[in-house]
Structure 1
Amino acid sequence: MKATDLIGSAVRNTFRSKLRTTLTVLALFIGAFTLTLTTAVGAGVTDYVTKQVASLGSDDVFIISRTVPTSTDGPVPYDPATSSASSGAGGTSLPGPGGSDPLTDPDLAELAAIDGVLSVDPVQGIAIDFIEHAGGPQYEFSINPTSSITQADLLAGEQLSQDSSTNETVIPSDYVESLGFADADDAVGSTVQLGLTDLLGEQHTVDAVVVGVSQDSLLASGAGANPALVAEAADLQSARIDTGPARYPLAVAYFDPSQSAAGIDTLRTEIADAGFSAQTIQDQLGVIKTVIDGIVGVLNAFAVIALIAAAFGIVNTLLMSVQERTREIGLMKAMGMRSGKVFSLFSLEAAFIGFLGSAIGVTSAVVIGTALNSILSAGPLSALPGLEILLFEPSAIIGVIALIMAIAFVSGTLPASRAARKNPIDSLRYE
């Protein structure tokens, strides 16, 4: 019997018991449907995160903070010279990430002396009370401290200028209408007022030009400010009182991005040995991908459970088919069909059942998921442009179908081997 004849016979035999086959296909459909949707969710969110990370740019910088001290013997002793509670520079500098001690100018000099570090710039922490435009309503406002080294995902306008002496800011898109602008393009080029309070409790306002409007993002929050705006705000906030050495919550260390990954890891290790923590922007956002992968993994586990249950259904379906077709198997062997052909016939039946269940499940998932994408993009996810929560990649779809067909094929090996081992004489006598 030719391969094409075997396949044709396997397809026809699959529909001999329509109800039994339908129930088995339904079990596979549930697993394929679930697995396709969860895979699409993972692909969609990962694609969005990847695009957001790419838009941030700055592949040549480390975000530097002081390593948080740990102690297994109880609380860390207070040191007034370094503890974060003693914020310097007029109290305008904030503690580093996780409450770590701020950095000082000697720290910056030590970092700059490390081989491989091209330059080190401090990140000043400022606290903005409000933003207003043309005497209108005032709204709470916060500046992203790393905005000077990242690129905003712009809806309109341009990126911040690092060298400009003019105070510049990039505002989030949800401030446009509230501040009285007709649209994002109308906001670009306008002057807004930022309010802040100094150490003595006196409130000041700083003018800033809106150079861009950023889209909402899962990965970045707050507005952007160029170095000129940050410097003026920090100066006002300190009330120009000299309280000791300047301290900074973070610093930015520039390195040569053309060096190998091993070279960057070596540089990171040298910085860590000096008592500092060095992370790229991608490192800081990597935890988001880890969470996404964990959630998708849990969801995929439910789909795998459904597929395992379906595998037992395939075994049961084919075992019953072998039992019912005992005389037919005996006749085929008596006419010269070898055991390998019999094994292939029943294995192909199992694989075809897997194909039916997976193809129907994947097709249904794509149709429903595409419609769901449109609903979510126009509704709950409208504030996150560019996020396609369900991304159906051809390679993933083919992978799901291939996986389920493989599971079905393996499940069919037991019934197929039993059919292949049957003695033709005993099979012909079977009643």
Structure 2
Amino acid sequence: MKIVDVVGTAFRNAFRSRLRTSLTVLAIFIGAFTLSLTNGLGTGVNQYLDDTVASVGVDDVLTVTKTNEEAPTDDGPAEYDPNQIEADGPPGSTTTALTDDDIDTIADVDGVLSVDPAKSVMVDYVQHDDGTKYQLSVAEFVPGMRVELASGSQVDLDAADPELVLPETYLEPLELGSAADAVGQTVALAVTDATGEQVTTDATIVGVAEPAVITMGGAIPNDVLTTTLYDLQTSGAPEAETTRYAQASVSFDPAGGEDAAQALKDRLEDAGYTASTLEDQLGTLTAVIDGIVLVLNGFAVIALIAAGIGIVNTLFMAVQERTREVGLMKAMGLSSGRVFSLFSIEAVVIGLVGSAVGVLGAIGVGQLVNGVSGDLLADLPGLTLIAFDPVSVATVVLSVMAIAFVAGTLPALRAARQDPISSLRYE
């Protein structure tokens, strides 16, 4: 019997006992369905994070802070340090301030192309045409940053006039009309200076930002606007207070790859600074998502192991029912290897059918969930909650087929080792 005939016979024999085989396929379907769906969830969320990082476009920028040797520990609070200032993060979080001397030191580190200190600005409110005043946070503009825009353009670093990209959620409260209508209009921003007096400055809206993971709820200013607000905010303050920065943005050449970037981080660490990329900062979130997916995949693997036991049972019963048939085939010259292949391919066929149906079912459910979640996750445009990578889908199918092959090995070996004379006498 040629291999083509063996494969064709295996396909036909796989469903000779339809009910038993169908139940086994159902068990495989559950495992493959769960595995595909959880992988799709992880792929969808991670792709969104990757796209968000890519859209920001700051793969050549490191965020640098002063290494804090006196961070709070489980042993108790850290000693007061007058050089510490409030940092971006949870309420109450602090960092050791960078000074102009630190900026010069960082600039002298090998591999650093430029250093831009982050000027922390606390805006009291934003107002349009003497209307209602609303609180507004101002995000730091990192060189190379790109945000998803509903209308308009990115801020111009070289512009001589104050510009900002305003979050889309402010359009209705400020009565700016549509996103397109808002572009070109002027808003007033207020800050409180060091003497306690509230002062304002105007800025032109050049773009309207859609909500995203990064810059959620924050306006994006250009350099002129940031400098203007910072100067107003620090007016009347001692000179030492105006040259203290929470962090700095360091530009480097990304052409050297990850090894060169890591080497630069190490040199900065040796100099007493901590550096991280935006991707590093999102790494913890990605790790948590991967961990959740891994746990969910564990349940799918348990289902697949149970399905493998079902395949063993199905094929053992098939071998027993077809004992005389196997004896006849061997008596007619069919080799033990061909008999082994016959039953092994039957197992693979069952695995293929179950995994294929499971994957297709997961894709269908994923499309349905994406349609329903579109309204629920409207504040995260571009997020496909469940996405299916062709490589991942193929891996699931091939993995299930491999499990089915392994599960079918014992029954196939038993059939291959049967004595033809004894098999023909089997009642």
CA drift at 1:243: 5.3
Cross-structure match for 1:407: 403
SS of equivalent to 2:59 = coil
Cross-structure match for 1:165: 160
Cross-structure match for 1:423: 419
- Contact 1:28–1:357 (CA under 8 A) maintained in structure 2: yes
Aligned-partner Cα distance in 2 for 1:253–1:369: 41
- Contact 1:38–1:299 (CA under 8 A) maintained in structure 2: yes
1:154-233 correspondence runs (5 A): 154-221=149-216, 222-233=218-229
CA drift at 1:337: 0.9
SS of equivalent to 1:100 = strand
Is 1:297 the counterpart of 2:289? The answer is no
CA drift at 1:148: 5.5
Is 1:234 the counterpart of 2:235? The answer is no
Is 1:259 the counterpart of 2:256? The answer is yes
1:62-101 correspondence runs (5 A): 62-70=62-70, 75-80=77-82, 82-84=83-85, 94-95=86-87, 98-101=93-96
Aligned-partner Cα distance in 2 for 1:247–1:43: 41
SS of equivalent to 1:120 = strand
SS of equivalent to 2:137 = coil
Distance 1:394 1:244, change over 3 A: closer
SS of equivalent to 1:406 = helix
Aligned-partner Cα distance in 1 for 2:109–2:15: 73
- Contact 2:141–2:222 (CA under 8 A) maintained in structure 1: no
Question: TM-score, normalised to structure 1's length?
Answer: 0.92
CA drift at 1:181: 2.3
CA drift at 1:207: 1.1
Moved more, 39-48 or 265-274: 39-48
Cross-structure match for 1:46: 46
CA drift at 1:269: 0.6
- Contact 2:84–2:94 (CA under 8 A) maintained in structure 1: no
Aligned-partner Cα distance in 1 for 2:214–2:2: 58
Moved more, 267-276 or 167-176: 167-176
Cross-structure match for 1:88: none
CA drift at 1:354: 0.4
RMSD between aligned residues:
1.9
CA drift at 1:220: 3.1
Aligned-partner Cα distance in 2 for 1:35–1:224: 41
Cross-structure match for 2:111: 116
Cross-structure match for 1:150: 145
Cross-structure match for 1:354: 351
- Contact 2:195–2:237 (CA under 8 A) maintained in structure 1: no
Stretches of structure 2 lacking an aligned partner (at least 5 in a row):
none
Cross-structure match for 1:7: 7
Aligned-partner Cα distance in 2 for 1:168–1:38: 43
- Superposed CA deviations along residues 63-102 of structure 1, whole A, max 9, x for unmatched, are 110112257776543343x233xxxxxxxxx336652211
CA drift at 1:167: 1.3
- Superposed CA deviations along residues 360-390 of structure 1, whole A, max 9, x for unmatched, are 111111122223222222x112222211112
Aligned-partner Cα distance in 1 for 2:188–2:297: 50
Aligned-partner Cα distance in 1 for 2:141–2:283: 17
Moved more, 391-400 or 331-340: 391-400
Aligned-partner Cα distance in 2 for 1:117–1:147: 15
- Superposed CA deviations along residues 7-44 of structure 1, whole A, max 9, x for unmatched, are 22112212121111111000001111111111211222
Aligned-partner Cα distance in 2 for 1:262–1:278: 14
Aligned-partner Cα distance in 2 for 1:20–1:70: 67
SS of equivalent to 1:258 = helix
SS of equivalent to 2:101 = helix
Q: Among the aligned pairs, what percent are the same residue?
A: 49
Aligned-partner Cα distance in 2 for 1:219–1:163: 23
CA drift at 1:205: 2.1
CA drift at 1:58: 2.3
CA drift at 1:147: 4.7
- Contact 1:128–1:194 (CA under 8 A) maintained in structure 2: yes
- Contact 1:148–1:224 (CA under 8 A) maintained in structure 2: no
Question: TM-score, normalised to structure 2's length?
Answer: 0.93
- Contact 1:144–1:223 (CA under 8 A) maintained in structure 2: yes
Amino acid at match of 1:383: D
- Aligned mate of 2:283, from 286, 290, 294: 286
Question: How many equivalent residue pairs?
Answer: 420
Moved more, 265-274 or 390-399: 390-399
Aligned-partner Cα distance in 2 for 1:136–1:191: 12
- Contact 2:142–2:249 (CA under 8 A) maintained in structure 1: no
CA drift at 1:309: 1.0
Aligned-partner Cα distance in 2 for 1:358–1:79: 61
Distance 1:95 1:387, change over 3 A: closer
Is 1:244 the counterpart of 2:245? The answer is no
Aligned-partner Cα distance in 2 for 1:345–1:219: 56
- Contact 1:41–1:391 (CA under 8 A) maintained in structure 2: yes
- Contact 1:148–1:226 (CA under 8 A) maintained in structure 2: no
Amino acid at match of 1:381: L
Aligned-partner Cα distance in 1 for 2:42–2:215: 20
SS of equivalent to 1:278 = strand
Moved more, 103-112 or 158-167: 158-167
SS of equivalent to 2:384 = coil
Moved more, 353-362 or 63-72: 63-72
CA drift at 1:146: 4.1
